[in-house]
């Protein structure tokens, strides 16, 4: 801290614009959402005060809770598929056997730098039933019986829209974990190698505790990132078929803009806010507990 404080007007001059902008874009909308969530409002000039009716509807709204369960499913798949797989890759890259390390870094990180919308388009082209690579490949290996209109499969669709997300971020978490292991003495990896068969298991027992805090950061990022899944689902399925790939942000968007139901859409936004804070807050609590041990 400075011992001589600058004049107050200078302080205000510096802080006013950034903070006003911040309040306008973050806090005013939050208050607005809380306000409009108590109205029946289709976006036009007329609105009717309905109290907590929207919230009662929200609690009973099966699609809302279905969307939430899809977010949770996405989180589960991504924790395993992104952070889990990234950890395995890091263990492999750290051995002396794996070559081309810098190529794996540069290429692996690349997908995480492009827009989720683009990733969605790319995978749309992969899943396409007539011109898609997936069906082309199945035909190539003689399993034509397995080809199908992938994104119309109501049982699989949620998993299919998760795969692009997983693929996009494996390299991202791989690089974060790699930076954490870079400070570990290389001899630890090598002594584990010399032991042969259970080398992998041993390195997990030795390495995992050493990078625990970074792993927790990755898990928190992964959970909060998937609570806001929207972009790639918007371009791939828009929540369909039916509501089989609906997630919270997509549902809020659909009700508010496609159905022009702004009042209920505001209530959903408040619902997303509360559920998001609960999940992320719960995650923080668990991670604080873990990192203390």
Partner 1 sequence: MAEKVYGMTTGRRVGNGVLTVVMNTIMIIFSLSCIFPLVWMFYSSLKVKREFNADIIGLPPNPTFENYAKILTNKDYHIADSLINSVRTTALSVALILLFGFVVGYILARVKFRGNRVIWIMLLMGMLIPVHSLLVPIYIVFNRTGMNNQWYTLLFPYIAFGMPIAVFLIHGYLKAVPVALEEAASIDGSSFSGTLFKIIMPICKPVMVTIAIIQTFACWNEFSFALVLLRDVGLHTVPLAMTQFTGQFSSDYPKIMSAMLITMAPIVVLYFGFSKNIIKGMVAGVVKG
Q: 24 to 83, contacts with partner 1 by CB under 8 A?
A: 24-30, 32-33, 36
Instruction: Name which position in 53, 122, 138, 286 contacts partner 1 (CB under 8 A).
Output: 122
162: its two tokens = 């998760």
CA distance 158 to 163: 9
CA distance 187 to 82: 27
H or E element: which one contains 278? Answer: helix 262-292
Counting contacts by CB under 8 A, is residue 222 touching partner 1?
no
Listed ranges 52-60, 120-128, 148-156, 285-293: which one lies at the site for partner 1 (CB under 8 A):
120-128
By the 8 A CB rule, do 275 and 248 touch?
yes
Number of residues lying near partner 1 (CB under 8 A)? 102
Ramachandran quadrant class, 51 (left: phi over 0; alpha: psi -120 to 50; beta: rest): left
> Nearest distance from residue 246's CB to partner 1, in Å?
14
16: its two tokens = 């006013």
Counting contacts by CB under 8 A, is residue 93 touching partner 1?
yes
Show contacts with partner 1 in window 130-189 (CB under 8 A): 131-133, 136, 167, 170-172, 175-176, 179-180, 187
> Nearest distance from residue 20's CB to partner 1, in Å?
10
CA distance 189 to 96: 9
Identify which of residues 65 and 121 has a Cβ nearer to partner 1 in the complex.
Answer: 121
Instruction: Name which position in 48, 69, 80, 110 contacts partner 1 (CB under 8 A).
Output: 110
| Residue of 183, 205, 202 whose CA lies nearest to 191 | 202
Convert 182-199 to b/e letters by CB count within 10 Å (16 or more is b).
eeeeeebbeebbeeeeeb
Show contacts with partner 1 in window 186-215 (CB under 8 A): 187, 190, 193-194, 196-197, 214
Instruction: Name which position in 82, 87, 111, 192 contacts partner 1 (CB under 8 A).
Output: 111
> Nearest distance from residue 260's CB to partner 1, in Å?
11
> Nearest distance from residue 1's CB to partner 1, in Å?
5
């Amino acid at each position: 801290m400075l011992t001589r404080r600058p004049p107050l007007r200078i302080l205000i001059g510096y802080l006013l614009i950034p903070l006003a902008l911040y309040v306008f874009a973050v806090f005013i909308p939050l208050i607005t959402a809380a306000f409009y969530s108590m109205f029946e409002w289709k976006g036009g000039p007329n609105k009717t005060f309905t109290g907590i009716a929207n919230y009662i509807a929200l609690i009973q709204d099966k699609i809302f809770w279905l969307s939430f369960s899809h977010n949770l499913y996405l989180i589960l798949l991504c924790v395993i598929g992104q952070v889990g797989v990234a950890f395995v890759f890091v263990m492999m890259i750290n051995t002396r056997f794996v070559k081309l390390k810098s190529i794996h870094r540069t290429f692996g990180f690349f997908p995480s730098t492009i827009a989720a919308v683009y990733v969605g388009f790319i995978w749309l082209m992969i899943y396409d039933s007539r011109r898609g690579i997936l069906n082309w490949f199945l035909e190539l290996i003689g399993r034509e019986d397995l080809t199908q209109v992938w994104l119309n499969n109501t049982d699989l669709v949620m998993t299919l829209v998760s795969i692009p997300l997983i693929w996009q971020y494996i390299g991202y978490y791989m690089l974060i974990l790699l930076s954490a292991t870079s400070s570990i003495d290389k001899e630890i990896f090598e002594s584990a190698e010399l032991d042969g068969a259970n080398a992998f298991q041993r390195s997990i027992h030795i390495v995992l505790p050493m990078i625990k805090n970074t792993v927790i950061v990755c898990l928190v990022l992964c959970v909060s990132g998937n609570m806001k899944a929207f972009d790639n689902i918007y371009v791939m399925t828009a929540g369909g078929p039916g509501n089989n790939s609906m997630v919270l942000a997509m549902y809020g968007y659909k009700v508010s803009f496609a159905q022009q139901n702004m009042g209920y859409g505001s209530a959903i936004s408040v619902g997303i806010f509360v559920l998001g804070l609960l999940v992320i807050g719960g995650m923080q609590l668990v991670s604080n507990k873990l990192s203390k041990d």
